[in-house]
Amino acid sequence: MQLSQRGTLRLAGSSAIALLISLTNNCASHSQPMTAQLIERKELVTMEQQARGAEAAQPQPDPKHSPEQVIGFVLEALRRNDTPKKDSGIRLTFSFASPGNREMTGPIDRFIELVKNPLYRPLINHRRAERSPVKIAGDLAQQKVTLIDEQGRRATFLFTLSKQPAAPFKDCWMTDGVERQPNEENEKDRQIAQGNGHLSKG
């Protein structure tokens, strides 16, 4: 190390190289945490964007949807209830409930409790659905659906839908009720759920 004629500090030979290496290492050590933070932040942003995209892609009431399609949307949403977020399936189910049904079963927090009632619990995260043909009479439609739940038990539900006569859902098929059908397997659940409300309109 020596002073130049202008009084500035100069490093010669190996000293200059050593200083350069030291500075480079210091820069690298500081940049690594920053790089990790940037990657983590980018991953979080990507996950948020994917979640918003998944929500935006959720089906909504539309006159072009048939009764069978509406029931299919509801069943698939309930089968994957916590995708993309907790209780997303139940929330979508509520979005397809007719205005009259919402008056009976809402608001959404109460609706979530109703669906998690033992009587309707087989709807959530079921493994498979067996659907009978849809019966349509004018502006009313019904379909029986037998579900196999996570424990392999069977439960049958009757879906009742109606075509809405007025805005904002004019001509959209929406659910008026989902009623569990009686059988030996669900009689105990029916007794437990008695008096706790149901998903049917009226």
pLDDT, tens only, 36-53: 666 656 655 554 544 454
The pLDDT value recorded for residue 183 is: 73
According to the model, what pLDDT value does residue 202 have? 45
Q: How many CB atoms neighbour CB 199 within 10 A?
A: 25
pLDDT for res 9: 44
**Distance (Å) of CA 157 to CA 33, 122, 177, 188:** 55, 10, 10, 16
- Whole-model pTM: value is 0.67
Q: How confident is the model at residue 21 (pLDDT cuts 50, 70, 90)?
A: very low
Mean pLDDT of the chain: 80
Tokens for 48, please give them.
Answer: 């948020």
Spatial CA neighbour of 144 closest among 159, 154, 155 = 159
Residue 8 pLDDT > 60, yes or no?
no
